[in-house]
Each structure stands twice: as C-alpha cells, then as structure tokens.
Amino acid sequence: MINKEVKTIKEAIKGVESGMTFMFGGFGLCGIAENSILELSKLNINNLTCVSNNAGIDDFGLGLLLKRRQIKKMISSYVGENEEFERQMLSGELEVELIPQGTLAERCRAGGAGIPAFYTPAGHGTEVAIGKEERIFNNKPHILENALVADFSFVKAWKGDTAGNLIFKGTARNFNPLMAMAGKITVAEVEELVPIGELDPNQIHTPGIFVQRIIKGNNFEKRIENLTTIN
C-alpha cells in the first residue's frame, strides 16, 4: 500500500492557494484539524471559500482565518460562537451561506459519492429555498440542493494508519468522514498514527482511498466553546 504519511504540517498543506475551496471537519471545536488551520493562518492566502459546520471562535479554529480576512465566503450551519464572524457578516465583508445542518452533511456526502444534486424537504418555504428548483415527492414539496466538493479537505481523526485509514472518536465522527470523501486532496491529522495492518478493518470509518496525506498532529488543545459548571 502507498505510505501517505507526511512529517511536517507544511508538507501536509502543500499546494494550497488563494481562491480555493476548503472543507473543515468537526463539530464546534471538537474534531477540527487545528494544526492545519493554524498553519493556514500563517500563509499569505485569501479569497477562500470555507465549508464547515461552524466558524470556530474568535481566537481558535476558523476564527484565526477570519481574523486575518482570509475567508471570502463561509458555507456553514452554526456560527453563533464567533463575534468576528458576526461583525464581518453584518458589515458585508463576508459572504455567508447558512444551510440546515442535515442538508450540509448530505451535500458533502453527495459530493464525495459523485452525486451532483438531490432533493430534500428541509428548508422549503424559507429563505433557504429562494432561487432553488422545487418538486413534489409523495405529496410533499422538496427543493434541489447541489453537492459540495473542495480543493482541500482538512479532517481530524483519533487514530489512523500510514495508508490513510481513519477511526474517529465520539462527536468527531460527524462531518469529518463526509468531508474526507469530498476533497480532491484530503489531509488527515490524527492523534495516534500506526503502521499499516494495525487497525481492525471492521472499525475503520474512512478508508484510506479518500485520504491523500496523513500526519500525526501535535499540541491538540481540545478546547470547549462554552464551559458550563454547576455549583
């Protein structure tokens, strides 16, 4: 099998350019490729279209790219934890496409499966449906949604092998497997990287065929968006 391991984060993101479309896996701050995002924030690239369930927070995750005005358009479903995102959106600096969460997931999955578009009832009768084709299925109105693909997908897994096979843990197993399928180049950060043959094939969530580069990440912070405690 092909060894897809890269040794440095700079090598992992090699080839990124201004104007590209990136997908970022994760749910809130859980399961985000934080090493890749940090390195991208140091590059002189801009006019990016970013597909992500969330927009990070002001000083972490995609908030770093927003702070440096690197993102031109956000395609997301939940963006409520980032004041800089709110400011840019309200001022018109940032183009935003808000999508129902299930629709966003399916648009990514469809892109990875080679399905160009699909019909869904979600969003019908709302602003989400404006300008979209409508059809009736089983006496219920549906709208047409186009699949999403990316030049690069950045995902984070709990464990992977050097062939790119990935296992996700807990809530990180949400958008990560779908977005891994939909990237022309998929970069996977893993907490633990093992040799080929070490993973149980029955436990693998994303086959290595969808991953082009894999790296053992460092300094994962595993931060919490809102910490709530009860006395």
The DSSP line for 179-206 is HHHHEEEEEEEEEEEE-TT-S-GGG-SB
The pTM of this model reads 0.92
- pLDDT tier for residue 28 given thresholds of 50, 70 and 90: confident
* pLDDT confidence tier of residue 157, bands split at 50, 70 and 90: very high
Instruction: Supply the CATH classification number for the domain 9-115+148-216.
Output: 3.40.1080.10
pLDDT of 134 above 80 = yes
| Phi and psi torsions of 95, nearest 5° | -85, 135
So what's the pLDDT on residue 53? 93
pLDDT of the residue at 171: 87
Over the stretch 173-228, which tens digit does the pLDDT of each residue have? 989 999 999 999 999 999 999 999 999 999 999 999 999 999 998 877 666 666 67
For residue 30, the model assigns a pLDDT of 87
Dist. CA 26–CA 30, nearest whole Å: 5
**Which residues make beta-bridge pairs with 194?**
161
Q: Give SS3 for 64.
A: helix
Task: Express each pLDDT in 6-23 by its tens digit.
Answer: 999 999 999 999 999 999
